[in-house]
Amino acid sequence: MTRVERGDGWELRLGKWQDVLADVECDALISDPPYLTANAGGGGMASAKTNRQHSGGGQARNTGCLIRYAPATTQLLSGIASMNSRGFRVVFNDFEGVALIRESMKCAGLTVSEPVTWVKNHGAPFGGFLNVAKRCEWLAIGHHKPGGHERRPGVYKVSYCTGDLMLAGGKPLPLMRAIIRDYSRPDDLVCDPCAGGGTTLLAAVTEGRRAIGAECDPDTFELAVKRLRAGHTRSLFTAHEREPEPETGDLFGGAA
């Protein structure tokens, strides 16, 4: 029996998304899975996603808010890109992972945009002899029939703040709220198959959407449930709650 926790507008299932979300067709798929090459070979700091089960290999060690993990597999990323969604599919990854996800979306018959960039205010060392700081991450975005001429950001500029770092690798809540607004509509069902600390689900319900997700690591699942039950009320006077400052562009004007 799959363990399922529910709250006001959200549902989180414990287990591998391939198993526990098999019956779900959502309006928007928005996810931040393990990265294809992030910190590969170097251990390094990491994501909120332990990939012991997500990617089927490697070791994950939860040390407070740091989780060491092996990179995602191509099968994982291709599978997420092919999940059922009536609307947009928005998937984070590193430079090489986004290329793979975009190709998988094309093979699934989706219209695919150029990659969208999230620019951070700091970057963790990527590793290797260059020791380059990772200041950008990318989003692969696809849709069956994008339609219309809505203009969506080509770049998101949103900084981390202390409250965002519940789990290392988790995305800032203001960033995910902006993405939810741009790629879903009120009352849509938003799905995150790699829920981690629950930021995407929390952003979705805060923006008036419904949310469903899966998390395979039991400890991370408990943290996400606790966070979702606590909820979020936006303060008009808190600096880190200010709106993101995206650079806008016609996202599908030059679809690849």
pLDDT band at 169 (very low <50, low <70, confident <90, very high): low
Tell whether 249 is covered by a domain. no
Tell whether 146 is covered by a domain. yes
Mean pLDDT throughout 164-192? 86
**CATH number, domain at 40?**
3.40.50.150
Compute the distance between CA of residue 62 and CA of residue 50 in angstroms, rounded to an integer: 8
Per-residue tokens: 83 = 């999940």
Q: Is residue 193 within 8 Å of 80, Cβ to Cβ?
A: yes
CA–centroid distance for 88 within its chain: 13
Domains in the chain, number: 1
Tell whether 80 is covered by a domain. yes
Inform me whether the pLDDT recorded for 123 exceeds 80: no
Tell whether 248 is covered by a domain. no
In this structure, which amino acid lies at residue 213?
Answer: G
Tell whether 147 is covered by a domain. yes
Lowest mean pLDDT among 12-16, 81-85, 210-214: 81-85
Tell whether 182 is covered by a domain. yes
pLDDT digits (tens, 9 = 90+) for 203-251: 999 999 999 999 999 999 999 999 999 986 554 433 344 454 554 444 5
Tell whether 247 is covered by a domain. no
In this structure, which amino acid lies at residue 2?
Answer: T
The pLDDT of residue 190 is: 98
The domain of 15 spans 4-242
Which one of 66-80, 96-110, 144-158 scores highest in mean pLDDT?
96-110
pTM: 0.79
Compute the distance between CA of residue 22 and CA of residue 12 in angstroms, rounded to an integer: 14
